[in-house]
Amino acid sequence: MNLQDIETPAVVIDSEILDRNLRTMASYCGEHNLALRPHTKTHKMPEIARLQLRYGSPGITVAKLGEAEVMADAGINDITIVYPLWGESKWKRLTDLAKRVKIGVTMDSFAIAEGISRAAKAAGVEVGIRLEFDTGLRRCGLPLEERAMDVARRVFALPNIRWEGISVYPGHIMGNRKIREQDIPRENERLDRLYSLLDAAGIPYPLVSGGNTPAAFQSHRFHGVTEIRPGTYVFNDRNTVDAESVTYADCAATVLTTVVSTSVPGRAIIDAGSKTLSADTLLSGEGKYHGYIQGHPEYLLDELSEEHGHISIPDGATVHLGDRLRVVPNHVCPCINLHDQVYLVSGEQILDRWKVAGRGKVA
């Protein structure tokens, strides 16, 4: 089967680019002795998670309990949920998971750690704990202050937990998400402060987990980081190109679309709107376009309705009803999350069809 045989819109994954992206990140982490625990929220597909393990990852990262369940069902046996889980029902699901796979979880409060410890004790299991600290993102994470050490000490002492260490989200990657040279010493200062506090409190941190895709290849420059959790690197997208960490040749995921209307002068309408590409604008806030049209930098995807992509066509350029265009989305993670399946291709040839098995597992 060939790409021309499938209906649009459809997500297409280039197998060669995917493989190269996986290899490049694995090599980098190998060279710098960093554990790579990829965040599978980007793809939500067990097939890709298995490739990531084959390239040397000890386990995977997920955002949601439901995603962890899907991955465990698919045979992935080392999963970290980097999300604070609240409530008896979720703690029960978590300890059920701990009966069949190695499971870790991140939180930033004693109440959640204590609830998990209690549930784990009742179930006779052990759950890995990573305490999250805020190095500047101001989302989740305990403050880099003495009072946070009380929380750490109490969590550390809980029964039926496996103390894994600490987790940070790189606070230096904010705003435009481009890493700037001055961000590195600033982040290191914060990390050093955190380590001093932990040392003084006598709390070990065998694992320091950090890192996302835009900053991934700088991870070895951050003090003490032992593990990174990039997600987007498997596919890349217009955001990672915008952050200058890759080029469009490194973008493995595109949305295959068809031109369905050319009635309005200067415009072409494709069958991919915000319910196909997602409404995410660029993280940097730069540029108002909703995706990059491969091979046609002159076509501007300047507006999205739910099912219509509005393209401005410059004077002199022609586009025809039925033309097929491939769009690199602004943000690939929410884009994939809108689809039930993707096509894996080599060139134009379809190799496989993968289900986005973790999609829709919101809880």
Which parts of this chain interact with a copy of itself (CB under 8 A)? 7-10, 41, 63-64, 83-87, 89-90, 107-109, 111-112, 132, 134, 138-143, 258-265, 267, 269, 271, 274-276, 278-281, 305-308, 310, 321-322, 333-334, 337-340, 359-360, 362-363
Nearest Cα neighbor of 155 from 211, 204, 222, 98 is 204
- Please, what is the minimum distance in Å from the beta carbon of residue 70 to a copy of itself? 13
Q: Which is nearer to a copy of itself, 34 or 359 (CB)?
A: 359
Q: Are 334 and 291 in contact (CB under 8 A)?
A: no
- Please, what is the minimum distance in Å from the beta carbon of residue 27 to a copy of itself? 27
Nearest Cα neighbor of 326 from 259, 262, 228 is 259
Q: Which is nearer to a copy of itself, 28 or 134 (CB)?
A: 134
- Please, what is the minimum distance in Å from the beta carbon of residue 326 to a copy of itself? 15
In degrees, to the nearest 5, what angle opens at C-alpha 105 toward C-alphas 137 and 333?
A: 60
Q: Which is nearer to a copy of itself, 245 or 276 (CB)?
A: 276
Distances (CA, A) of 9 to 258, 279, 341, 355: 7, 16, 11, 16
Q: Which is nearer to a copy of itself, 25 or 142 (CB)?
A: 142
- Please, what is the minimum distance in Å from the beta carbon of residue 21 to a copy of itself? 20
3-state secondary structure of 134: coil
- Please, what is the minimum distance in Å from the beta carbon of residue 12 to a copy of itself? 13
Nearest Cα neighbor of 276 from 258, 288, 294 is 258
- Which residues, other chains included, contact 298 with Cβ-Cβ below 8 Å and sequence gap of 6+? 313, 314, 317
- Please, what is the minimum distance in Å from the beta carbon of residue 20 to a copy of itself? 25
Q: Phi-psi region for residue 296, left (φ > 0), alpha (ψ -120 to 50) or beta?
A: beta
Q: Which is nearer to a copy of itself, 221 or 355 (CB)?
A: 355
DSSP β-bridge partners for residue 293: 327
Q: Which is nearer to a copy of itself, 195 or 343 (CB)?
A: 343
